[in-house]
Amino acid sequence: MSFNYKGQKIVIDDILFDDTYSTFEERTNFNIPKDSKKKKILSKVSYITNDNLGGCSDWNCEIITEDNKNDVIDGVIVSSLTEISQYKSNIFVGLLTQESPAHDTTGSLANNVVYPHTFISFRHDSYTSSPYGYTVHLAPESQLLKNPITENDLINKSKSISWMVSHCQTPSNREGYVSDLKKYIDVDIYGACGNKDCRRENNCNDVDNEYYFYLAFENSICKDYITEKLWYRGYNRPIIPIVLKKSIVERYAPPNSFIAVDDFKNPKELASYLKDLIKDKNKYLSYFAWMKEYKVIFLDGQNHDITERPWGFCQFCRMLHSNINKNYTRMSNYEKWWNNSCEKKVNW
């Protein structure tokens, strides 16, 4: 598979994801059965339109937004479980959310809810997973011979850690960890929870040139829940991201590309390691060596192109055309699968 990303043509041979339900090849090179008619998908989510199928316009699906009773629909996308019961059993239902179960918006605690057939969210163990970003392994012809980040890219770096955050009290208790970390190393906090300002018009990108590390801390610790800030800021800027849980990130992120809090006994030990990296430029730069073989794709939800093909709505379309959905029952383990997928209490 090849595509243009940020003005550069890249050829990829794999992606880092959970392939339990379908392979990379199946997700991207789907051939529509000759006898398959156009599939109509009703969107009950205001910001989901036919534009969201831009990455798979050749797959003969259409998203409509008007709930016309005369339209025969094949699938529907909803954002709440309470909406599902009004649709016939032969209509394929996808439930959409990007919030973690700790900030649940799906109405899962309501009485007598009907469960969906598939889940469109950050969870990778779904036919229609839809993460904020993903890692691709480059085919040999697209790989680089040397690390693209050099000491010249570090010239303007003089500060230790930046953190951009707007929610100050969270289930992950990230604020508690940062409070302890600040005792041993400088952490500058931008946004509603800090006293630092940056240029919002460019997403504060200029800040990254000044710092060695960026805190990509999730507001809750749940299976596969990875903040969009990791994919955007952590991997599209010359800065090393620090995450809370290694086990959540390592399967989907490039190898040796991040630092995990839970690899260290305490904040003091982490701070000591970070200070050593700042002094040892070669070791610091080793965290960017992955760029020779991998590329991180950030899905901003605005540009609907081929980079979205392996995910979300394109995969919902693929399911409607394939035989997968014929015997695909509604989720029966939703309560355990979703509501019990987070750490309830986090103490650092």
Asked if residue 244 and residue 261 are part of one domain, the reply reads yes
Q: What is the pLDDT of residue 201?
A: 60
Q: What is the pLDDT of residue 205?
A: 76
Asked if residue 128 and residue 91 are part of one domain, the reply reads yes
Q: What would the DSSP string read from start to end of 228-293?
A: HHIIIIIHHSSSEEEES-HHHHTTTSPTT--EEGGGSSSHHHHHHHHHHHHH-HHHHHGGGGGGGT
Q: Number of structural domains, the chain?
A: 2
Asked if residue 308 and residue 181 are part of one domain, the reply reads no
Q: What is the pLDDT of residue 296?
A: 96
Q: What is the pLDDT of residue 7?
A: 82
Asked if residue 54 and residue 96 are part of one domain, the reply reads yes
CA distances to 185, 212, 259 from 280, in Å: 17, 12, 16
Asked if residue 270 and residue 151 are part of one domain, the reply reads yes
DSSP assignment, residue 39? E
Q: What is the pLDDT of residue 148?
A: 93
Asked if residue 209 and residue 99 are part of one domain, the reply reads no
Q: What is the pLDDT of residue 64?
A: 97
Asked if residue 196 and residue 108 are part of one domain, the reply reads no
Which parts of the chain register pLDDT below 50? none
Q: What is the Cα–Cα distance from 230 to 260, expressed in whole angstroms?
A: 12
Q: What is the pLDDT of residue 103?
A: 84
Q: What is the pLDDT of residue 327?
A: 65
Asked if residue 153 and residue 108 are part of one domain, the reply reads no
Asked if residue 283 and residue 149 are part of one domain, the reply reads yes
Q: What is the pLDDT of residue 324?
A: 64
Q: What is the Cα–Cα distance from 234 to 228, expressed in whole angstroms?
A: 9
Q: What is the pLDDT of residue 172?
A: 95
Q: What is the Cα–Cα distance from 113 to 40, expressed in whole angstroms?
A: 24
Asked if residue 287 and residue 149 are part of one domain, the reply reads yes
Answer whether residue 204 is part of any domain: yes
Q: What is the Cα–Cα distance from 142 to 11, expressed in whole angstroms?
A: 6
State which residues form the domain around 15: 2-134+300-339
Identify whether the C-beta of residue 121 lies closer than 8 Å to the C-beta of residue 97.
yes
CATH assignment of the domain containing 280: 3.40.50.11660
pTM, 2 dp: 0.92
Answer whether residue 348 is part of any domain: no
Answer whether residue 51 is part of any domain: yes
Answer whether residue 345 is part of any domain: no
Answer whether residue 125 is part of any domain: yes
Answer whether residue 153 is part of any domain: yes
Answer whether residue 21 is part of any domain: yes
Answer whether residue 139 is part of any domain: no
